[in-house]
A and B are shown apart, each in its own frame.
Chain A
Amino acid sequence: MTVTVLIVDDSKLARIVTGKKLAALQPEWRRLEASNADEAMAMVRESPVDVALVDYNMPGRNGLELAAELRALWPTMPIAVTTANVQDEIIANTRAVNAVFVAKPVTEEGLSSFVAGAALRLRMPS
């Protein structure tokens, strides 16, 4: 089964960077991109994805709101929230929707434990 991962970020550069780091860790994963929460929701409703990486600070709904919506639809989907905004509330809210906090700028190292955990999760029966 091909794993499909959705990268949501209003910055195209940030999507490219995240995509490259992800490709280095999991070259087989198929990568999709959305630039805001509405676009992301439209895409996943059309065709569900296995993993989501969402930026926090975006125009429209922020990444935590999007993560909560995704979580409501897919209780076990691996979701990461990416941001440089390391405030306690944002980290706590990320955990509250059972998502993983990944610090920006995104690095291969910073992504690796989330990606390894996601790969493991996807191999387990849900």
Chain B
Amino acid sequence: MTGGSVELDELERDALTELVNIGVSRAAASLRKMVGEQVLLSVPSVEIVSRAVAASLIGEREIEELVAVRQDFSGAFSGRALLIFPHANSLELVHAVLGDAVGADELPSMEEEALAETGNIILNGCLATMANMLRQPLVMSLPVVLRGDSPHLFEVIAEFGSSGPVLFLYINFSVRERDIRGYIAMLMDLPSLEALKLLINRFIAHVMDDDVNNAI
């Protein structure tokens, strides 16, 4: 390691943010179909930070118990994607996804599966769009549902990948008309970031090329 000094220049960061934005926007459209209500998104935030800072960026804002759906991805670059929301929201989300097809008494038993499937659709949708645009296939693990408070979430971030800083991406989302809000977060360690940086540069070169019409 060279002290972990992979940096993204302005255009690389811009391109990555735009890729994430397109991926998350498509994923939001899928979620909208599932819950039947408009899904609002923030502008993505892309930062290279220490694990402690990454954990605190989400953890510090939430004092409640959290639920997270985790999916790891690997390929030319690898990382961990998380869909995180306050535990108090999770039944509401499950209810929104399942609608009235399932009675209130049955909801809790369906919760785990519905959360995993919702996470799968959102995280896969986002990652697949990014993979397509970068022209590099990614393999996604099965979704895992995690529960716990911020310190527990911190462990999920701290134990991830090789040591050193991480590329941390996050976006807030909320469902209009329903009390559902949360975050989509993505983590990549430095070896992955170096690989990603190469792909982003190839992508930038590609979209700048006048001869290619449908590059982006």
Q: Which residues of A contact B (CB under 8 A)?
A: 10-14, 16-17, 20, 24, 56-59, 83-90, 104-109
Q: CA of A17 to CA of B207 in the docked complex: distance in angstroms?
A: 7
A-B contact count (CB 8 A): 72
List the A side residues contacting B25 at CB < 8 Å. Answer: 56-57, 83-86, 104
List the B side residues contacting A84 at CB < 8 Å. Answer: 21-23, 25-26, 29, 129
B208 partner, pick from A16, A24, A107, A109, beta carbons under 8 A: A16
List the A side residues contacting B216 at CB < 8 Å. Answer: 17, 105-107
Q: CA of A86 to CA of B32 in the docked complex: distance in angstroms?
A: 9
Given A10-B43, A13-B204, A108-B213, residue A57 in contact with residue B29 (CB < 8 A) = no
B50: Cβ under 8 A from any A Cβ: no
Given A85-B28, A88-B32, A107-B213, residue A13 in contact with residue B21 (CB < 8 A) = no
Q: CA of A126 to CA of B169 in the docked complex: distance in angstroms?
A: 46
Q: Are A87 and B29 in contact (CB under 8 A)?
A: yes
Q: Mark B195-212, 1 if CB is under 8 A from A, else 0.
A: 000000000100110100
Q: Identify 23 residue pairs between A and B in the complex whose beta-carbon atoms are under 8 Å apart, listed by A's number.
A: A11-B14, A11-B17, A13-B11, A13-B14, A13-B207, A14-B18, A56-B25, A57-B43, A58-B43, A84-B22, A84-B29, A85-B25, A85-B28, A86-B25, A86-B26, A86-B29, A88-B38, A89-B176, A104-B22, A105-B22, A107-B213, A107-B214, A108-B213
List the A side residues contacting B129 at CB < 8 Å. Answer: 84
B133: Cβ under 8 A from any A Cβ: yes
B15: Cβ under 8 A from any A Cβ: yes
B41: Cβ under 8 A from any A Cβ: yes
Q: Which residue of A lies closest to B15 (CB)?
A: A13
Q: A87-B39, A108-B213 are in contact. List 13 more A-B contacts (CB 8 A).
A: A11-B17, A16-B207, A17-B207, A20-B210, A24-B210, A24-B213, A58-B43, A59-B43, A83-B25, A84-B129, A87-B28, A87-B32, A107-B213
